Amino acid sequence: MRRRRQRPSFLPSLADAKAHAAEMLARVKGEARDLPGVYEMRSADGEIIYVGKSKKLRTRLLSYFRAEYPADKGARILREAAEIQWEYVPSEFASLLEELKRIKRYRPRHNVAGKRDARHFAFIRVARGAAEAFRVVRGAGADEGGVFFGPFHGAVQLTEALRELNDALGLRDCALDTPMHFADQPDLFPAPRTPGCIRFEIGKCLGPCVGAVRRDDYAARFALARAFLEGTNDVPVAALRGAMEEASDRLEFERAAALRDKIARLESLRMQFARLRFAVESLSFVYTPEPRHDDAISYVIRRGRVHGAFAAPRTADERRAFDAKVAGIFAPVERSDGTVPAHEIDELLLVTSWFTRFPQEMERTSAVAPVPSTRSA
């Protein structure tokens, strides 16, 4: 006997959905205006099931009612929605920021914007723990926490380059929950002399899991790796270059060629970091998008993240007060090492992609007096 498919409990009947849709359509037609804004779709029990934005809100909302059910995602969202709420914002840029903020706050189940942005990129995550380690991750889960370098294109090349760096400096790349046992650690539970790990056997890892290295010495190597990525130190490449020259002198051309490829991968990784630092550093200014609605807002953007949004100053007094706020935002010294806290990555991607798509918007920015920056040790 054929079983009838059950409708998910949160879906209204087709008749109810049509009635709701007709009411919502009438309201959109009667009230919505073609201005930048954000909107929320809510289910009958008040759950925010979708957050969206548009520079032309009315046009965007009307498009939901023309979508085909069930082929179009918009129609599927509408079928679950009992109410649409919207709010106008001064500009399209403001709508993007507001949408991102609400998606992070409500995590509506129909939104995939976070995935669409961050998960297309690869990041290097600094995994904390007894012995720090680098990890290549897709996207940057805000849930994961920690420090991220990125975003980068090409997780595969990034992984290969990072492997070279780990090998060159003897850093671990094993599972994060692998127990560590440093040489200077009390020996209550003596670690095995060999970890059964090929990387230790062939000298590619210092062996922090088997008491083969002191905690400080391992930390110093990790700091060296970060310094290399930040462009302040050349030890890994210099060591490989020396080994390559020796191999060449001994006529070991195959080994010399392999070392040359390793150097190329490391240098490409460092180049990517340099480009990233440049991109992030160039995104520091005050940006005032042209308002389509309401008064202009000036965004204080530092290293690709929005640190403040204030009414654009119109008088000399307002300008002085505004400048003081900007100076306060730029006063704290920030590291210029290409790292981004996990929770700020989506915003960095948003700002980067905005100025990449609309380079003419740079004309609406104004520079902020430079502040000194530091590099990590």
Which parts of this chain interact with ligand SF4 (CB under 6 A)?
172-174, 178, 195, 197, 199-200, 205, 207-209
Dihedral, 343, 350, 366, 286 alpha carbons, nearest 10: -40
CB of 201 to ligand SF4, least distance (A): 8
CB of 167 to ligand SF4, least distance (A): 10
Choice between 174 and 279, CB closer to ligand SF4: 174
Choice between 168 and 205, CB closer to ligand SF4: 205
Choice between 179 and 242, CB closer to ligand SF4: 179
CB of 359 to ligand SF4, least distance (A): 44
CB of 205 to ligand SF4, least distance (A): 3
Closest to 375 (Cα-Cα) out of 332, 330, 335: 335
Choice between 173 and 281, CB closer to ligand SF4: 173
CB of 180 to ligand SF4, least distance (A): 7
Residue 164, sorted as left (phi over 0), alpha (psi -120 to 50) or beta, turns out to be alpha
Choice between 63 and 194, CB closer to ligand SF4: 194
Q: Give 365's contacts (C-beta < 8 A, 6+ positions apart).
A: 285, 286, 287, 288, 301
Choice between 100 and 171, CB closer to ligand SF4: 171
DSSP, residue by residue, 215-229:
HHHHHHHHHHHHHHH
Say which amino acid occupies 236.
P
Whole-angstrom Cα Rg for the chain: 27
CB of 199 to ligand SF4, least distance (A): 5
